Each structure stands twice: as structure tokens, then as C-alpha cells.
Amino acid sequence: LIFPIFNLRGECVGFGGRALEKEVEPKYLNTPESKVYKKSEILYGLYHSKEFIKKESLGFLVEGYFDFLTLWDKVIKNVVATCGTALTEKHVKILKKLSENWIIFYDGDLAGKKATLRAISLFLKENILPKCVVLPEEEDPDSWVKKSDLRDKELMKGIQELTIDAIYFVLDFY
């Protein structure tokens, strides 16, 4: 499956590919870094979601294309995803221009929790104290949203019930 990746001006600057069958390798295949496509500066879906983030004065940060698309499909339009890379300082600077209210919505496994800790530290460098969604260990945003079968306000309420301040996330982790 191929995902077109757009910059803030709506220009297609790269593609993300994902195998749909478990035995197919590589699982992910992305456009290589270039002058036009810099993973450290591009966020998947930002071109489409930036106005929703501004309007809501709130954004959700997820890690994957499917996480983004599932939330978008369930009418949460104020969402962005990293493009096959970890969150960077440049990403957070871009996000801060849109809102200072962010919810980190990463996978519930140990790798997702460690990525959340790293993201929290990057947001703190920009004087943003994010909130964090704490999912069960076996879930990611895509699977949890599909399993919950909630939409619109009910989905937002379900997410809010799993959301804690970043400080509590850090304390709970350690």
C-alpha cells in the first residue's frame, strides 16, 4: 500500500510504502531523504489537518499512517503522524506553531512508551506540556479505535478516559 506524503503547501514530496502481508519484506519502504523530502521536517497528514488543529486548538500525534487514517476516518481530523521516523525537534517546532495543546497517542507496548517519553522531552524543550494516551500493552491507536467501535464525541470521550498529563505518564513509567 502506498501513502503519498505532502508538505505544508500540499505538494507531494514522497511516498511511504507498507506491506499488507506479514511475510512480505521489507514491511516498510519509504522515499529516501532528499532536498525535497526530509523526514525530520515532514509530518504525515499535516497539510490536511492543520486547519482542524488550529480550529480545535488541540492536536493528536500518532506514529503511523494507519493510526492517522483510522482517527481521520472516525472524524478526528486534528491528527498528524511521523513518517517512519522518530519525532524530532523540528517536528515539534512546526507543531507548536499550530497549537500548544498536544496529545501523544502512541502504541501501548514498551517501545511505544519509550517513544512517548522521548516525545515528552521534545515537547518540554518547546515549553509545551503534552498529555498522553495510555493504551493497553497489546494495542496501538489503529487497533484500539477499531476495537472500541466508537465515533465522533463518543470516541473523544473514550480517548479522554485514557489520557493523562505527561508528568503522570513519566511517574507511572518509572
Instruction: Indicate the angle between helix axes 46-56 and 89-98, nearest 10 degrees.
Output: 50
pLDDT value for 152: 86
- The DSSP 8-state label assigned to residue 32 in this structure reads P
DSSP, residue by residue, 81-136: EESSS---HHHHHHHHHH-S-EEE---SSHHHHHHHHHHHHHHHHTT---EEE---
Quick one: how far is CA 130 from the chain centroid? 13
Percent of the chain whose predicted confidence (pLDDT) is above 90: 92
Question: Identity (one letter) of the amino acid at 17?
Answer: G
Q: What is the pLDDT of residues 113-156, one digit of tens each?
A: 999 999 999 999 999 999 999 999 999 999 999 999 998 899 99
Q: What is the pLDDT of residues 56-97, one digit of tens each?
A: 999 999 999 999 999 999 999 999 999 878 899 999 999 999
pLDDT value for 26: 92
What is the grid cell recorded at 124? Answer: 518540554
pLDDT value for 106: 98
Rounded to whole angstroms, how far apart are CA atoms 25 and 28? 8
pTM of the model: 0.95
